[in-house]
Structure 1
Amino acid sequence: MRTAMASKKRAAPLALAEYQDKIRTAGLRSTAPRVAVLRELEAATSPLSHADLVDSLGSQGYDRVTIYRNLTDLTEAGLVVRADLGDHVWRFELRRAGREHTGHHPHFTCTDCGTVSCLPEASVRISSAKGTPKSISARAVEVHLRGLCDHCA
């Protein structure tokens, strides 16, 4: 399975000092692997798996375990969001201050090619009705849709 990461990157990455400040503000030591993981997640336009990050950061000398431990630390510190989109693969994305990637937002997974895409929060409307769990009205749920992407349809 692949993600939509490779061809789509965000513009204007943060400066090194800004990454270091983010990490320190979250209560963690600023290390080169943590900065590298944050940079990669900042550049991605869709959630990345541990394997995606190993593929992109392994050439910089970071091993699988170091990347995994830093993903765990950054998630526990609240800088990164982790989601299982139903295929038993954890995917990670940067928690952003703007409209996109805040808290939980819906994701779309192509059932043919496996591409994962982030959807705008407004693209899926959830409303509670009698008998539904309270977590729905509190918006404490994850939504992921499955189907064929435009390329595979």
Structure 2
Amino acid sequence: MKNLSQAEEIDEIRTLVRKSGLRSTAARITVIQFLRQATSPLTHAEIAEELTPMGFDKATVYRNLIDLAEAGLVKRTELGDHAWRFELRNPDEPEDAEHPHFVCTECGSVSCLHDVEFKTPKNKQWAAVGKVTEILLKGICSECDEE
């Protein structure tokens, strides 16, 4: 992420939100700012826990996450535990660009694997696969593996 002053960051987010066709509101700006700081996809509960003390109720946070996802600014994913997680999309990548996620089966931590690339093979076995939309790897994270 670029080194921007807070005012420049807010202006950049406002422009991004408006270009997506949404109104630029304080809640949307705050949600995007928070997701920019995140190192992994977060649940609504995790996001609301941080934003509620700032004056945004849980319903407002949820509605804005859904609006931002529908506008293509935020990606909503489900990693096998029936909880939607949200992460900021990279505006420099196509909207359908995906990256794998790793979920620790011991502690439940989630990691984005941005540098891992998956290419669908062009052979008969894969002919039925139209488009891969999510790749999920499960295993034991390095912290749990040391215990």
Q: Deviations for 1:89-116, whole angstroms, at most 9, x for unmatched residues?
A: 10111111357x9721100000011100
Normalised TM-score (structure 1):
0.82
Distance apart, 1:45 and its partner CA: 1.4
Which residue among 114, 134, 146 is the counterpart of 2:129? 134
1:118 corresponds in structure 2 to 112
2:147 is the alignment partner of 1:152: no
1:67 corresponds in structure 2 to 61
2:34 is the alignment partner of 1:40: yes
Structure 1: gaps (5+ residues): 1-9
Normalised TM-score (structure 2):
0.85
**1:18 corresponds to which letter in structure 2?**
E
Q: Deviations for 1:36-90, whole angstroms, at most 9, x for unmatched residues?
A: 1000111111111101101111110111100000001000111011100111110
Distance apart, 1:134 and its partner CA: 2.9
SS at match of 1:131: helix
Of structures 1 and 2, the larger Rg is shown by 2
Instruction: Judging by fraction of residues, say which structure has more helix.
Output: 2
4+ long deviations beyond 4 Å: 123-126
Count of matched residue pairs: 140
1:28 corresponds in structure 2 to 22
**1:78 corresponds to which letter in structure 2?**
G
**RCO comparison, higher one (Cα < 8 Å, 6+):** 1
Contact 2:73 2:91 in 1 (8 A): no
2:101 is the alignment partner of 1:107: yes
1:29 and 1:120 map into 2 onto residues whose CA distance is 30
CA-atom RMSD, angstroms?
2.1
**2:70 corresponds to which letter in structure 1?**
E
Gap change, CA 1:123 and 1:25, over 3 Å in 2: closer
Contact 1:11 1:43 in 2 (8 A): no
Q: Percent of aligned pairs with the same residue? A: 44
